Amino acid sequence: MISVTDLIGYIPYVGTFLSIAFLLVGIFLSIILGFPQLKNGRKFLNIISSNELKTSTKNTISPLQALMTAMSTSLGSGSIAGVPLAIVIGGPGALFWIVVYAFFGSVTKFAEVAFAIKYRIRAADRSIIGGPTTYLWQVNPFLSYWYGAVALFLFAGWSALQAKALSEVFEKLGVSQYFTGAITSLFVLYMLIGGAKRIGKLSSYLVPIMCTSYLLACLFILLQDVSLLANMFILVLKCAFTPAAATGGFVGASVLTAMRQGIFKSAYVTEAGVGTAAFPHALADTESATDQGVLAMYSVAIDTFFCLISGFVVLVTGVWTSGAASNTLIYDAFNLGLPAVGPMILIFSLVLFVTGTALGNCFNGSKCFGFFTGNQYLHYYYIFVVTMMFFGSITNTLTLWAIMEFILPLTALPNLIGLIYLAIKNRTELSN
């Protein structure tokens, strides 16, 4: 009989398998679709400058709001606290593999969003039901039910991780994790009750503010010593292809571990391959599936840029050598690199990042729930997911990640299978 200890021991193998699968699917889609990430730059600029980008109707949100809602989930604690964890476990080389997967995974995200628009349906109240649950139905209903059932718990787990990141940082200021978890959960519940338009409107305001404040603080830390930053680039490239040596509290890491951590965290942050970003994009007021797909594809570059910024801050300040697998590593880095004001800026940014991500995850999870119920009884899922957020805020960080490393493969596998089938079937349409 397999024990809990045995299951935990299998996690690295599961993560390695999934990382390779993510990368291979991204490479395959890039090849058969003619590398759209390299040839659609002008189309992207035309889309973001068009008037239609901000239009919406009663049951939809604008393409821009759909993009911002999707980005609010990817630009969360994963790009701030998740990347330092990847470095502590896999070494500096993990940053290289984050970039590699982002390049190929952007095409995966392009296909996911395009299919979400192409195959979305209307519920009895004329509201939209879309995302992997609807496009996987075109392949096989079993894949659709499989994805939808597991994704309900994936979104709850992701939201729990967001709450945990926030509660750990606030605990450094003497605030109880119970209190932080309760306040965060109640605010998210209030926003969810307001529906897609309330969330889309908030996201369109939050994303620019949180990106700007966090980016400026990181750049200030990094540009204090440009030569040190150059050394970090060399370290990342070296550790991407050779084992990272032990230093300080860091015990060292193999190339395979760096690759697994980099690809896995990149998929977690960008959501490419997992399919989850397709849910808010499916609500966009657009008839062009590929146009919305192009918007999503290039948003991966922004996600990846923030991952790199967070990673280099942790490397330059040296806090990664502590070997501490904690969500507060980035807090320690800001405290060292930008004393006094650094921690305040980080906390402000993190509150916005976590709030936006948790909201997006909860809302996306409700779309999965709505697939099974015809968009009815959504308040039951809201209550479930915010309850998980509260308990997540007081649970051990590594325990949460261990749980997610089992749930994520179960969610991604049917999505990857369906994407390959649909991409081959719709190859001509996606390549234009």
d(CA 206, CA 210) in angstroms, rounded, equals 6
**Within a domain: residue 62?**
no
d(CA 137, CA 191) in angstroms, rounded, equals 30
d(CA 291, CA 110) in angstroms, rounded, equals 9
**Within a domain: residue 111?**
yes
Which amino acid belongs to residue 232? Answer: M
**Within a domain: residue 101?**
yes
pLDDT at res. 322: 83
Instruction: Report the DSSP pairing between strands 128-129 and 121-122.
Output: antiparallel
**Within a domain: residue 11?**
no
Please identify which residue in the block is written with the tokens 């596998």: 413
Cα separations in angstroms, 132 against 126, 276, 417? 19, 7, 11
pLDDT at res. 114: 94
pLDDT at res. 4: 41
| Each residue's pLDDT tens digit, 359-377 | 778 877 887 888 888 778 8
**Within a domain: residue 8?**
no
pLDDT at res. 432: 72
Backbone angles phi, psi at 271, to 5 degrees: 70, 10
Please identify which residue in the block is written with the tokens 């996690």: 11
Cβ–Cβ contacts within 10 Å for residue 3, how many? 8
**Within a domain: residue 100?**
yes
**Within a domain: residue 4?**
no
| Each residue's pLDDT tens digit, 42-95 | 888 888 887 766 666 655 667 777 776 666 666 666 777 778 888 988 999 999
- Exposed e or buried b for every residue in 380-419, given b needs 16+ CB within 10 A? ebbebbbebbbebbbbebeebbebbbbbbbbbbbbbbbbb
For the four alpha carbons of 138, 16, 113 and 132, in that order, the dihedral sign comes to positive
Cβ–Cβ contacts within 10 Å for residue 108, how many? 31
Q: Please answer whether residues 289 and 118 qualify as being in contact, where contact means their C-beta atoms are separated by less than 8 angstroms.
A: yes
- Exposed e or buried b for every residue in 343-366, given b needs 16+ CB within 10 A? bebbbebbbbbbbbbbbbbbbbbb
CB-based contacts of 141, cutoff 8 Å, min separation 6: none
The CATH number of whichever domain residue 202 belongs to comes to: 1.20.1740.10
Say how many domains are in the chain. 1
Positions of the chain with pLDDT lower than 50, given as ranges: 1-9
Residues of the domain holding 138: 71-426
**Within a domain: residue 38?**
no
